[in-house]
Amino acid sequence: MAMRSIAPTILHLCMSGLLLLLPACNGVFSDLYDTPPPEERTATFGFRNHDEATHRGQLYLDVVSYREWTFIDLHRRATVTTPIPTGLTSKWDGRSGWSYHQVTWPDTYEERDVVPADSVPEPEAWDFALHHYDVRTHNGAALATEFTSLDELLAHGDRAELLARPFTGDVDTRHYAYYDLTGIYNYYIGYHHTKVNLLLSEWMDMNVKNPPPTYTLSRRVYLLRLPDGTHAALHFRDYMSPAGAKGYVTIDYVYPY
């Protein structure tokens, strides 16, 4: 997903001084800070429609906030949402927290301030996690397939051939996952320090060349390899609620695949 790298483009557009662009830029930032519509406040999130015979089901997740992680346990079909800590309770590990970068268009990041914080508390068991549209795995790895639906994967995919392909693991990031956008007009953006699976996070791209932004799903089915040797097939089907609010992700899955 391109959302982590589009901030400089947004800033270039919104700071250009062209008054005609101001309404569009306001639209850009309202997209970044969606508030849940009334019907979403009572929605049922988590696993649903799981079929024991086919191992297929669906996840519906509220990942609107940039300051939380939602951890998904495919084995137990459970989810846990955890806030990112805002301070230190013990000695700093030198990695966790967030940092503020002075961003120069199009893609130069100068780290200015680091805010140490505790590492994000993780549940005892989890397989992958979402931070808004960012995705990480629990010591796993991912593969992007050429299929665009689970039906297509199951009907035409050669499982042995797919699983023999190279999978991509997570990487450490310091200017990828948004944390604080309050200084965005001054090109000053806070990013959460975290591991991210860059390939799996490509499930959605946001383009802001002509505001307001446009969102494009990759439509591809991804395979997730777990440390215990099992695999899941994931199809990120939507990023909006039925009411059209962004940050509500629907994932069709097969586990085990």
Q: Is the pLDDT of residue 11 over 90?
A: no
**Burial class of 229 by CB neighbour count within 10 A (0 to 12, 13 to 18, 19+):** exposed
Residue 202, phi then psi, degrees to nearest 5: -80, 5
- Please give the pLDDT value at position 136: 98
Beta bridge partners of 113: 100
- Please give the pLDDT value at position 196: 98
Kindly indicate the confidence band of residue 85, based on its pLDDT and cuts at 50, 70 and 90.
very high
Could you read off the pLDDT of 228-240 as tens digits, one per residue?
999 999 999 999 9
Once rounded to an integer, what is the mean pLDDT over residues 77-87?
A: 98
Could you read off the pLDDT of 139-174 as tens digits, one per residue?
999 999 999 999 999 999 999 999 999 999 999 999
Q: Is the pLDDT of residue 250 over 70?
A: yes
The pTM of this model reads 0.86
Once rounded to an integer, what is the mean pLDDT over residues 17-35?
A: 41
| Helix orientation angle between 7-14 and 22-32, rounded to the nearest 10 degrees | 150
Residue 114, phi then psi, degrees to nearest 5: -115, 130
